[in-house]
A and B are shown apart, each in its own frame.
Chain A
Amino acid sequence: MAIVTAPTKACAINPLKMSQPIGGAFAFMGLRGAMPLLHGSQGCASFALTLFVRHFKEAVPLQTTAMSEVATVLGGYENLEQAILNIYNRTKPKIIGICSTGVTETNGEDVDAYLKLIRRKHPQLTKLPLVYVSTPDFEGAFQDGWEKAVARIVELLVEGPNANGLRDPSKVNVLPGCHLTPGDLDELRMILEDFGLSPSFLPDVAGSLDGHIPAELAPTTVGGISVDEIASMGRAGWTIAIGAQMQRAAEVMQVKTGVPFRVFERLCGLCPNDEFMTFLSDISGRPIPLKYRRQRGQLADAMLDAHFHIGGRKLAIGAEPDLLFDLSGMLHEMGVQVTAAVTTTRSEVIERIKTNEVLIGDLEDLEELAKTRCCDLLITHSHGRQAAARLKIPFYRAGFPMFDRLGAGHQLSVGYRGTRNLIFDIANLVIAHREDNDRPTPDRWRTAARSTQYVRHRDFVRVTERSFT
């Protein structure tokens, strides 16, 4: 059981965390024809837009109510009204998802009431879903924004059970956490379809941000789950939630529609996928397809081949709770020691991470810990690049944002195959790093003590060094 600590420092240095509103906006990006709208100053949207574009290398729809100083004093009703009308007239969206920011929350704006007024005043908006989520910048993190937005979408847009209460057992709802990539969603879709199930993903960022070339230029999202499909989710046989963050949305779904759910906290690693496959076989009534039996064998072999290289590594990892839990769990099962773990926000899973202590902190904390505890593998998002350069240890990029490498949207971690690829990627990174920095030389056993890679028992090494001189 890990102890969760939060540092007492006043100045966060090199933040690991990103803000709640953009996590919320990201959830809306997985809806078809959607326009996420940040209720706040225009910079809030502009920073978020740049971040998403750099990560996905895709056009990303995101708008702002452009609150000025005066509007902040007078209240944001008019800005919100104008923004909604403008978006409605200019981009013809199927849904507008509104996230509050620090400015409007500090102001205490009652957006739900605003929306009622706006609807009354503008009857043309009657059929346009307007989903509002409260996501202040000054609490929580990216993952919390996503969690709240999805729960809210379920609450507002999923229809209750129909009169005869009929369900289609082949229909399955999937509620993926924000740590899954479009590539992961496509992998899951394929797995479910191979069991004869037809999945509905909410949100479905694979439909919008997988990098496909749309036939027509659109100012809104170019794919994702449609509002109608969301409405019909109550007729599914099961809801599968991926990541502990999705428990809440799954519960809301169950309360509203009676669809039973199961939460899979992890989908990376051999055992989690065994459980997943067993479950799918159960609910579909079909045997596990041959394809996955082969993939399981391949994963087992990958684990055999890679444990020589990954095993015993001291891992420093910084990620949002669910990603942290998933990746550190899989690596722990490969023989890695989770030596330093930093996360962004509170979550029930972080106590169960296989390490002594989890810090709710920033990348400076992670770098410090990695240095003092002599870690030799770093996993975090792209902002870890400066720390990695200083620490001179292999650095695997995982999570959001990943702006300095290509293919962020297609990095896989779920399923037997995704785990296999991930293990190979990390092992290869370790091998390459060793080849570049750790070639054996005749007198390395003397000098090794001085190179950073091998300073594992620093004090002991220093003593032996002294005795030589």
Chain B
Amino acid sequence: MSSLAATVQKIFDEPGCPTNGSKSEAERKQGCTKQLQPGSAAGGCAFDGAKVALQPFTDVAHLVHGPIACEGNSWDSRSAASSGSDLWRTAFTTDLSETDIVFGGEKRLCKAIKEIMDKCDPPAIFVYQTCIPAMIGDDINAVCKAASQRFERPVIPINSPGFVGSKNLGNKLAGEALLDYVIGTQEPDYTTPYDINLIGEYNVSGELWQVKPLLDELGIRILSCISGDGKYREVASSHRARAAMLVCSKSMINVARKMEQRYGIPFFEGAFYGIRDTSEALRQLARLLVERGAPTDLLARTDAVIVREEARAWAAIEPYRQRLKGKKALLITGGVKSWSVVASLQEAGLELVGTSVKKSTSEDKQRIKELMGQDANMIEEMTPREMYNIFKDAKADIMLSGGKSQFVALKAAMPWLDINQERCHAYMGYVGMVKLVEEIDKSLSSPIWVQLRRPAPWEALAKAMQQMQSAAAASACEPALTETARRAREICVCNTVDLGTIEDAICAHGLRSVAAVREHTNAVGGCCQRRIEEILASKPSAMRQAAE
């Protein structure tokens, strides 16, 4: 067994990673953790990453070996969904105290494992290492080995203490643990030529289940999903799959590549976000399976399903096209999603004013250029202030991003939609894309925005006072100015229609009712109904008669 440092080094030298491939020898040696900036760092630690990657295994007991902070501050915060066991949502931690740190936490860990075995009898326990036990030298590998023998049950050490690096590194360390201790340790009950693995899919809000019916229809069996709605036995026997799809390329590329190396399971990178990408992913899956010996009719069946589903999805999006036409969206997300949803949003009539490429590979960027044109606005790094300014200058109508930047949009009273892991809607597959468009429309057309952007009564009053004062001063010397100022008074606040426009319309067309005014001007006639009535009342009827 190699040391943690060696494992980390191996992960950095990932041949399957295009970013790594394009580096020089010297750069590669430095690894790919950006030196974190104290005081301006954001994002989770390696432990966080490992936990996120593995916790969706539903029947496993996830035991965190550390002080209360690591589990107590973070548990039950993911919206991954399970079709069976709820054990994954139970938090287990050794809650290390000062005494444990002085005398070592290994004994407590042993006892904790025993207690879990007695109480829950899980098919496996994953033990997560954290900073403090790593510092004081608790050997969780040895404890897990001893416990596995004693209880004749897999007890897997996940060696990814927070301070070794970023969340992304933690994802990969979790993958290494699976490769070292889990994958290939059991045999499936039976196999079919249609068995696949999904790697790096976490079933957030149950979105995998929006795609699964299509796979079921095609007869494709998900032998193991790593890790969304996964079960220990499935991942342990996942080495018998015929093909694999790497769903979130960044997090578990090492698992996919090493499984190809060790067990000859070919994989491709794909996404179920966006209509075309979903189709593309299904086609690729079918092709890989056929290459590995599945009957060739799978290809034709897949195409038929794709044609049917695409038609359905476009038909469902069609009604929104007119409503969303010309609306500008800003997309701040990572990796695959930076382009995979772009095409579908464009089809739905939205205009993309920018997409973030912070976590994207050069390949991702190429795809963005194909979709958004050569001068696509690719945002490397955007400070909250810059985002805020985009809204303040009305360069975007809606932002799609993760939870952390939500307040930038919301506090500017601008529509925002969560498309990262904390979201509560499922956006995967054909149905998911329709749902996303529906949600965007719902958000954009919400009646709250107009109300929230209205000035508060005291602001409106202060403004009016100011205007009156300056108008009084100006009118003393210039009657024409007074008239202009009078006519510039805003009657319809919602659509900014001034008094002059309304008067002109009344004179020109001889209007008598609010409805008529509404017809001839942009005035809404809602909250400004009274004001328009007053104008109508005050206009001399002679003027109208003249017009008639």
Residues in A neighbouring B135, C-beta threshold 8 A:
72, 103, 106-107
A1 close to B (CB within 8 Å): no
Query: What is the CA–CA distance of A141 and B69 in the complex, to the nearest angstrom?
Result: 9
Q: Which among B38, B77, B167 has the greatest number of chain A C-beta atoms within 10 A? A: B38
Q: Are A53 and B67 closer than 8 Å at their CB atoms?
A: no
Residues in A neighbouring B131, C-beta threshold 8 A:
40-41, 72, 102-103
Instruction: Give min CB distance, B332 to chain A, whole Å.
Output: 15
Q: Are A19 and B45 closer than 8 Å at their CB atoms?
A: no
Q: Are A66 and B75 closer than 8 Å at their CB atoms?
A: no
Residues in A neighbouring B97, C-beta threshold 8 A:
138-139
| Per-residue interface assignment for chain B, residues 39 to 71, with 1 indicating a CB less than 8 Å from any chain A CB and 0 otherwise | 111111111100000000000000100111111
Query: What is the CA–CA distance of A85 and B136 in the complex, to the nearest angstrom?
Result: 30
Query: What is the CA–CA distance of A85 and B68 in the complex, to the nearest angstrom?
Result: 30
Q: Are B403 and A43 closer than 8 Å at their CB atoms?
A: no
From A40, A43, A71, B44 is in contact (CB under 8 Å) with A43
From B41, B77, B109, A42 is in contact (CB under 8 Å) with B41
Stretch of A10-18, A158-166, A291-299, A410-418 that contacts chain B: A10-18
Q: Which of B98-119 contact A (CB under 8 A)?
A: 98, 100-101, 108-116, 119
Stretch of A213-221, A245-253, A278-286, A431-439 that contacts chain B: A213-221
Q: Are B73 and A136 closer than 8 Å at their CB atoms?
A: no
Query: What is the CA–CA distance of A22 and B72 in the complex, to the nearest angstrom?
Result: 11
Residues in A neighbouring B96, C-beta threshold 8 A:
102, 138
From A66, A71, A136, B41 is in contact (CB under 8 Å) with A66
Query: What is the CA–CA distance of A69 and B162 in the complex, to the nearest angstrom?
Result: 9
Residues in B neighbouring A80, C-beta threshold 8 A:
38
Residues in A neighbouring B69, C-beta threshold 8 A:
18-19, 21-22, 44, 47, 101-102, 137
Stretch of A57-65, A181-189, A229-237, A308-316 that contacts chain B: A57-65
Q: Are B36 and A42 closer than 8 Å at their CB atoms?
A: yes
Q: Which among A49, A69, A90, A101 has the greatest number of chain B C-beta atoms within 10 A? A: A69
Residues in A neighbouring B111, C-beta threshold 8 A:
9-11
Instruction: Give min CB distance, B3 to chain A, whole Å.
Output: 12
Instruction: Give min CB distance, A10 to chain B, whole Å.
Output: 3
Residues in A neighbouring B91, C-beta threshold 8 A:
12-15
Q: Are A87 and B39 closer than 8 Å at their CB atoms?
A: yes
Residues in B neighbouring A72, C-beta threshold 8 A:
131, 135, 163
Q: Are A383 and B75 closer than 8 Å at their CB atoms?
A: yes
B94 close to A (CB within 8 Å): yes
Query: What is the CA–CA distance of A136 and B96 in the complex, to the nearest angstrom?
Result: 11
Query: What is the CA–CA distance of A106 and B66 in the complex, to the nearest angstrom?
Result: 12
From B74, B98, B110, A138 is in contact (CB under 8 Å) with B98
From A11, A40, A46, A86, B112 is in contact (CB under 8 Å) with A11
Question: Interface size bucket, B side?
Answer: 35 or more
Nearest A-chain residue to B119, judged by Cβ:
A13
Query: What is the CA–CA distance of A172 and B119 in the complex, to the nearest angstrom?
Result: 53
Nearest B-chain residue to A215, judged by Cβ:
B411
Nearest B-chain residue to A139, judged by Cβ:
B98
Nearest A-chain residue to B99, judged by Cβ:
A138
Residues in A neighbouring B157, C-beta threshold 8 A:
none
From B36, B47, B72, B164, A19 is in contact (CB under 8 Å) with B72
Q: Are B86 and A217 closer than 8 Å at their CB atoms?
A: no
Nearest A-chain residue to B8, judged by Cβ:
A69
B92 close to A (CB within 8 Å): yes
Residues in B neighbouring A50, C-beta threshold 8 A:
74, 77, 403
- Known contacts being A65-B39, A69-B164, A72-B135, is A47 close to B73, with CB within 8 Å? yes
A195 close to B (CB within 8 Å): no
Q: Are A103 and B132 closer than 8 Å at their CB atoms?
A: yes
Residues in B neighbouring A452, C-beta threshold 8 A:
none
| Per-residue interface assignment for chain B, residues 471 to 511, with 1 indicating a CB less than 8 Å from any chain A CB and 0 otherwise | 00000000000000000000000000000000000000000
Query: What is the CA–CA distance of A182 and B90 in the complex, to the nearest angstrom?
Result: 31
Instruction: Give min CB distance, A372 to chain B, whole Å.
Output: 15
B143 close to A (CB within 8 Å): no
Instruction: Give min CB distance, A256 to chain B, whole Å.
Output: 30
From A11, A40, A63, A69, B93 is in contact (CB under 8 Å) with A11
Q: Are B100 and A138 closer than 8 Å at their CB atoms?
A: yes
B272 close to A (CB within 8 Å): no
A84 close to B (CB within 8 Å): yes
Instruction: Give min CB distance, A33 to chain B, whole Å.
Output: 16
Nearest A-chain residue to B93, judged by Cβ:
A12
A464 close to B (CB within 8 Å): no
Q: Are A138 and B108 closer than 8 Å at their CB atoms?
A: no
From A13, A19, A59, A85, B73 is in contact (CB under 8 Å) with A19
B37 close to A (CB within 8 Å): yes
Q: Are A106 and B136 closer than 8 Å at their CB atoms?
A: yes
Q: Are B163 and A214 closer than 8 Å at their CB atoms?
A: no
Q: Are B38 and A14 closer than 8 Å at their CB atoms?
A: no
- Known contacts being A42-B43, A42-B162, is A47 close to B38, with CB within 8 Å? no
A379 close to B (CB within 8 Å): no
A79 close to B (CB within 8 Å): yes
A37 close to B (CB within 8 Å): yes
Query: What is the CA–CA distance of A65 and B131 in the complex, to the nearest angstrom?
Result: 15
| Per-residue interface assignment for chain A, residues 92 to 124, with 1 indicating a CB less than 8 Å from any chain B CB and 0 otherwise | 000000000111001100000000000000000
Q: Are A90 and B73 closer than 8 Å at their CB atoms?
A: no
Nearest B-chain residue to A14, judged by Cβ:
B91
Query: What is the CA–CA distance of A234 and B66 in the complex, to the nearest angstrom?
Result: 41
Q: Are A137 and B38 closer than 8 Å at their CB atoms?
A: no
Q: Are A17 and B72 closer than 8 Å at their CB atoms?
A: yes
Residues in B neighbouring A101, C-beta threshold 8 A:
69
B318 close to A (CB within 8 Å): no
Residues in B neighbouring A138, C-beta threshold 8 A:
67-68, 96-98, 100-101, 132
Q: Which of B385-412 contact A (CB under 8 A)?
A: 385, 388, 403-404, 407-408, 411-412
Query: What is the CA–CA distance of A13 and B75 in the complex, to the nearest angstrom?
Result: 11
Instruction: Give min CB distance, A130 to chain B, whole Å.
Output: 13
From A107, A137, A217, B388 is in contact (CB under 8 Å) with A217
Query: What is the CA–CA distance of A46 and B39 in the complex, to the nearest angstrom?
Result: 12
Q: Are B404 and A83 closer than 8 Å at their CB atoms?
A: no
B260 close to A (CB within 8 Å): no
Taking A13-B91, A102-B66 as given, write out 14 further A-B residue pairs in contact, using a Cβ cutoff of 8 Å, ordered by the A residue number: A10-B111, A43-B47, A43-B70, A47-B48, A47-B73, A47-B74, A51-B74, A66-B38, A68-B163, A103-B135, A107-B135, A137-B132, A217-B384, A385-B76
A-B contact pairs, 27 of them (CB 8 A): A10-B110, A10-B111, A11-B92, A11-B115, A13-B119, A14-B91, A15-B68, A19-B68, A22-B73, A42-B36, A45-B41, A46-B42, A46-B44, A66-B37, A66-B38, A69-B164, A84-B39, A86-B38, A87-B39, A102-B67, A102-B96, A136-B67, A137-B67, A213-B411, A213-B413, A383-B76, A386-B76
Interface set of A (CB-CB < 8 Å, partner B): 9-15, 17-19, 21-22, 37, 40-51, 53-54, 58-59, 63-69, 71-72, 79-80, 82-87, 90, 101-103, 106-107, 136-139, 141, 213-214, 217, 219, 383, 385-386, 403
